[in-house]
């Protein structure tokens, strides 16, 4: 789940199945009691029909939590200036090196690369909105300079921010596809 609409869709699946979650966050549903096998199958089928999956192994859950924390901090807060190694270690109660190894082994990219992909996607969004200049975007996203942002942007998508701005929205990717 990567956005408020995703959370609403998942909540609807549970409520339509007569299951009342205590809390739904990005990537996680908290229930008051365990589901029986029939409920699990029903929820799983409904989630899959919407393009979601039900996660049941701890490694996969851990990876999804890492992604959800990163997405939450980059896309759903006003200030994306974070030391993600500290944020992840604090929120997941694990050593960052352990989380990093798990993420790399499972996803085939590092946490840092995933953060860069998320930041670049947020920069694309801000460029399309056209409400901030590149200097403001660089500052908001925690880049040390416009040059650093521009270099990372070009390295990641093959275009400068200015070139992207002229080509626009068709080049944006869904957060769950990163």
Computed from CA positions of residues 90, 91, 94, 97, in that sequence, does the dihedral angle turn out positive or negative?
A: negative
> Which of 2-11, 147-156, 158-167 comes out lowest in average pLDDT?
2-11
Top pLDDT among 2 and 96 is at: 96
Q: Are 65 and 92 in contact (CB under 8 A)?
A: yes
Computed from CA positions of residues 12, 88, 150, 76, in that sequence, does the dihedral angle turn out positive or negative?
A: positive
Cα(12)–Cα(8) distance, integer angstroms: 6
% pLDDT > 70, the chain: 88
Query: Rounded to two decimals, what is the model's pTM?
Result: 0.69
Q: What are phi and psi of 25, to 5 degrees?
A: -125, 175
pLDDT score for 37: 82
Place of tokens 């200030």: 79
User: 1 pLDDT band (50/70/90 cuts)?
Assistant: very low
pLDDT for 47-57, tens place per residue?
A: 889 888 776 66
pLDDT for 74-112, tens place per residue?
A: 988 876 667 899 999 999 999 999 999 999 988 999 999
> Which tokens hold the place of 24?
């739904």
Query: Where are the domain boundaries for CATH 1.10.10.60 in the chain?
Result: 59-170
Task: Look at residue 44 and tell me whether its pLDDT is greater than 80.
Answer: yes
Q: What is the topology classification, in CATH, of domain 59-170?
A: Arc Repressor Mutant, subunit A (1.10.10)
> Which tokens hold the place of 76?
């759903």
């Amino acid at each position: 789940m990567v956005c408020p609409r995703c959370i609403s869709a998942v909540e609807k699946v549970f409520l339509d199945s007569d299951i009342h979650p205590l809390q739904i966050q990005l990537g996680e549903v908290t229930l008051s009691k365990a589901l029986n096998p029939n409920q699990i199958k029903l929820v799983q089928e409904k989630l899959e029909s919407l393009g979601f999956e039900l996660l049941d192994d701890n490694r996969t859950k851990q990876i999804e939590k890492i992604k959800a924390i990163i997405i939450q901090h980059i896309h759903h807060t006003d200030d994306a200036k974070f030391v993600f190694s500290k944020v992840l270690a604090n929120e997941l109660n694990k050593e960052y090196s352990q989380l990093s190894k798990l993420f790399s082994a499972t996803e085939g990219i590092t946490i840092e690369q995933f953060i860069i992909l998320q930041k670049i996607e947020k920069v694309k969004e801000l460029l399309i909105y056209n409400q901030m200049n590149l200097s403001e975007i660089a500052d908001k996203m925690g880049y040390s300079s416009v040059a650093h942002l521009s270099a990372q942007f070009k390295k990641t998508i093959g275009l400068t921010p200015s070139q992207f701005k002229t080509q626009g929205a068709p080049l944006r990717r869904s957060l769950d596809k990163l």
